[in-house]
Amino acid sequence: MLAHAVRSYLSTRRAVGFALKEVGHHLRSFAAYSDARGQRYLNAQTAIEWAGQVPSVHQRARRSADVARFARYLQAEDERHEMPPAAFGRERRPRRPPYILSDEQICRLIELAAQSGYRTLRRQTYSTLFALLSCTGLRVSEAIRLRHHDITPDGLVIRATKFQKSRLVPLHDTARAGLDRYLQQRRPYAPFDDHVFVSLRRKPLLITDVETAFQTVATKLGLPTGRGRRHPTPHSLRHAFAVRALQNCPDGRDRITKHMLMLATYLGHSDASLTYWYLEAVPELMRSIAERCEAHLAGGAS
């Protein structure tokens, strides 16, 4: 039956750094569905039927793709396992263009966070967090997992993120000073928890906490909110950092290549294409690329 093969597959992939939480849930569900039908080998039609049980076409495509990768693994040992077709289309949706906040908007967001709500640690928590996200490009999940020992003389140690990789993020002196000021206020508030950022519950922040606080100040600033339209989120602070870094990219092919590689490493991207995506997603960067192309062609023609 397939349940044992699923355990072996997940164990193999997790050993090389994949978390596979959702994938594991999908494959165990598929194995149970297949085993209930007495099928010893992976059957393509059964896979399509199982993937089609959810209402969303995108989720069907995701489930089908998970089974297809599993089938590829099984076929290496036994060709009697069938490869399910991509019956529900592409697994990944096209990435939406990021909402890029201006420097002025970021400053106002931080100021409003420092004034939002009651006069409690909450004000310092979110103003410091938003400032840190803006000047380091951290993911929200990385920032809220920071602990006191992750702040070192060399910068922030971001531990075991995607693919279990860790990285060091340097801190500017002003950022370090701001973080130190916050910690002086925060330590007496929750002395038995070593997370850098804590909520009024004296527990580590949740992503939903951060999203709610961000939307509150974004609304006060008059930025677009709500589903169905492009709007800023806490992740927009990371996007803004990446765009600023690309706008400051030096001229010269070799220098640009090194700059992109360093930025991809700094941001913790598992694939450099995730960094290059900003070039095509931001009109200002595309305009700059077009202008440089035209200048190069004009120079070559002369």
Strand order in the sheet with 151-152: 151-152, 155-158, 167-169
Our answer to whether residue 235 is catalytic in this structure is yes
Our answer to whether residue 231 is catalytic in this structure is no
Our answer to whether residue 95 is catalytic in this structure is no
- Which bin fits 164, alpha (ψ -120 to 50), beta or left (φ > 0)? left
Q: With contact defined as beta carbons under 8 Å apart, do 137 and 238 qualify? A: yes
Single out the catalytic residue among 176, 235, 244, 259.
235
Integer Cα distance of 27 and 11 in angstroms: 13
- At 169, list the tokens: 């993020």
Single out the catalytic residue among 26, 81, 139, 239.
139
Our answer to whether residue 139 is catalytic in this structure is yes
Single out the catalytic residue among 244, 259, 269, 276.
269
Angle between helix 2-15 and helix 57-75 axes, rounded to 10 deg: 90
Single out the catalytic residue among 122, 162, 176, 231.
162
Single out the catalytic residue among 62, 63, 108, 238.
238
Our answer to whether residue 69 is catalytic in this structure is no
Q: With contact defined as beta carbons under 8 Å apart, do 271 and 252 qualify? A: no
Q: How many CA atoms lie within 13 A of 138 on its CB side?
A: 26
Count the neighbouring beta carbons within 10 Å of the beta carbon of residue 63: 27
Count the neighbouring beta carbons within 10 Å of the beta carbon of residue 219: 13
Q: Residue 155's closest CA among 173, 141, 134? A: 173
Q: What is the DSSP letter of 94?
A: P
- Could you list the active site residues? 139, 162, 235, 238, 269, 278
